[in-house]
Amino acid sequence: MKTAICPGSFDPITLGHLNIIRRAAAIFDRVVVCVTFNSAKTSPMFSNEEKLEMVRTAVSRYPNVIVDHCETLLAEHVKKYEGAVLIKGLRAASDFDYEFQMDLVNKRINPQLETMFLTADQKYTFLSSSIVREMARYGADLHGLVPEELIDFIEEKARMRRE
């Protein structure tokens, strides 16, 4: 069974993330969406449990996609999925620079780990969780940016943080 790991902090998950996940699910037998808890990100909008629940909701439509989480180095964590490949979405050249460095670090930790890059669909090249959080903070329309079933939750969370 060929397994892909799609890691990310998903704060929140966007339609760009789902585009990469959907495409990976068409290529691999199993896709593990791995919610990573990034210690460098100091002020996430959502708790770890909220992120996991949002991702579970968003990927529930894909039968070969499961959700996991990681609180350690990703290159160590994925060893439990023997022969798995990391899938990383790229929006721009700057993403490649960062992800290329991460690939080199991951290979130092786990030499068997391979990384595949999927370029973002053109309509999502501008989209990031940071943009969604900023728009939500100001009450902007999130339709077409995040899964429909998560909009009310994201808007409510942003409203609560404003108050």
Active site residue 91: yes
Active-site residue, from 23, 51, 129, 133: 129
Active-site residue, from 17, 23, 88, 133: 17
Length of the chain: 163
Active site residue 137: no
Measuring CA to CA, which residue among 31, 37, 58 is closest to residue 49? 37
Pairing verdict, β 3-8 and 65-70: unpaired
Token pair belonging to 64: 């070969």
Active site residue 17: yes
Active-site residue, from 30, 69, 91, 107: 91
Token pair belonging to 44: 């996430």
Q: How far apart are CA 145 and CA 141, in angstroms?
A: 9
Active site residue 9: no
Active-site residue, from 41, 61, 161, 162: 41
The residues near 119 (Cβ < 8 Å, ≥ 6 apart) are 89, 90, 91
Q: At what angle do helices 48-59 and 15-27 cross, to 10 degrees?
A: 60
Q: How far apart are CA 102 and CA 5, in angstroms?
A: 15
* Catalytic residue ranges: 17, 41, 91, 129
